[in-house]
Structure 1
């Protein structure tokens, strides 16, 4: 663990927005622990002093402007910062190589509200802006898709048993999540964000997608934050998203194994 934190090549972290666009909040509970890392503290863990002075939105705009057409953006949280980026720089989306999202739902199956997936429900306005204003290729790993693509528990045991600092760190921070998932008697581990990241790394792992126009419901007692898939093309939108439907799970397993080597 000590070696994991003492390496000099630290990935820069930029501070993003602290609230949704409208300032409303919705709690995800303690699924990832109170600290977001499974409550697995370490005395040598990097502190807030390593957070960059530049803000996350400014950094995204700068990096994309410096590398037009070369940057793939992977968003695995509420889309507040991504929405702010397009509002500050309307040309931001067209300069991206692609946008890969984990969020939204296709079958009205919520995981934080009756019909809302957390990342979209936490900031529906931001999700609406992103899905309606980003004209670059957009790939979506929805909540239902990730639930249908779980990793067998036997694979997870081998994945976390690798003799590396990364695997030991991952095992420690995932301990709480694994126990919670297994207690719910699921058939395997749902590694939600990893599906979007894998698509950005190797698009050949994507076997099938639904190419549909999408938007987000902003009103309603139960449906606020729900992703709307336009199967009938009533919205008349020219830009459509690629909603992941089927992927090569063997390639996905290989990517996951390599990530902890």
Structure 2
């Protein structure tokens, strides 16, 4: 079994990523940690429970994490994913927050990894606040991880929330800086530019949502509101599920075709560049640890994983 921890701010693409992992018979999610990002922490927790309910996996523990960035909330995600993070789709039978664990997210991360040393991959599809706090509380935390899979950052200074910053990094630049500079386990990053290059046709999305299952009906409901916004982001040229690209890398080794190994860091100052991921092509930083930046993946395999998520 592939053991995962998943750290989310539970927008619609986080939901898609979680459902992708839950559909894999050889994947075990040991816990889902929540952090503010696409929406408030309370909404994130509610959204995760809604996803687990429709997938019939409410036994998976859900943990509350950080309510704000390490220093300040530098940018807001707005309402791209709706006010509640899941497209403002009504759900009168949503599970209650009493199902959220009493243990905090960061403590749970450290405990679960310590109980399974070298076996757990952490998939981080949100601002990296929880992940940064984990390494600050336990400096050995990264050494015990099997790998870290991040959706975030950028390679060509193309922003999606600031001029040069991708949202997950720009929402907590200090956290992203800590993670990229202190995690020495294998790190894989699906950047904003990468997901834009990895679009799949909208015709696929139509068939994906047309499946006759409760999961597909749930996805169609939460995805409806943001589809037009996404078409504007991609100029109508295709469908992207940002967080699912990082999840696919964690759960299916055949999906990754090519990566670029580079030292990276995060810019913390500047009027335009705060939160931007910096790629050290000239090796000026003299860092021995390099991350794997996704460059090319098997999109046909990705489609299969996406389809299976809603079966």
TM-score (norm 1): 0.96
Contact 2:54 2:214 in 1 (8 A): no
Q: Which runs of 5+ in 1 are unaligned?
A: none
Deviations 1:14-56 (CA, angstroms, capped at 9, x unpaired): 1010010003341111110000110012111112221111111
Aligned residues: 260
Q: Which residue of 1 aligns with 2:82?
A: 33
Contact 1:5 1:45 in 2 (8 A): no
Contact 2:54 2:218 in 1 (8 A): no
Contact 1:5 1:44 in 2 (8 A): no
Q: Distance in 2 between matches of 1:103 and 1:132?
A: 15
Q: Distance in 1 between matches of 2:55 and 2:290?
A: 44
Q: Distance in 1 between matches of 2:91 and 2:54?
A: 9
Deviations 1:99-121 (CA, angstroms, capped at 9, x unpaired): 00000000000000000000000
Shift of 1:182: 2.7
Q: Which residue of 1 aligns with 2:132?
A: 83
Contact 1:5 1:46 in 2 (8 A): no
Q: Which runs of 5+ in 2 are unaligned?
A: 1-49
Q: Which residue of 1 aligns with 2:68?
A: 19
**What SS does structure 2 have at the residue aligned with 1:212?**
strand
Q: Which residue of 2 aligns with 1:131?
A: 180
| Aligned mate of 2:215, from 166, 178, 190 | 166
Contact 1:206 1:244 in 2 (8 A): yes
Q: Which residue of 2 aligns with 1:195?
A: 245
Q: Distance in 2 between matches of 1:90 and 1:165?
A: 42
| Aligned mate of 2:299, from 228, 249, 254 | 249
Q: Which piece of structure 1 moves more, 58-67 or 24-33?
A: 24-33
Q: Distance in 2 between matches of 1:8 and 1:193?
A: 20
Q: Is it true that 1:47 corresponds to 2:96 in the alignment?
A: yes
Q: Which piece of structure 1 moves more, 161-170 or 175-184?
A: 175-184
Between structure 1 and structure 2, the one with the greater Rg is: 1
**What SS does structure 2 have at the residue aligned with 1:177?**
helix
TM-score (norm 2): 0.81
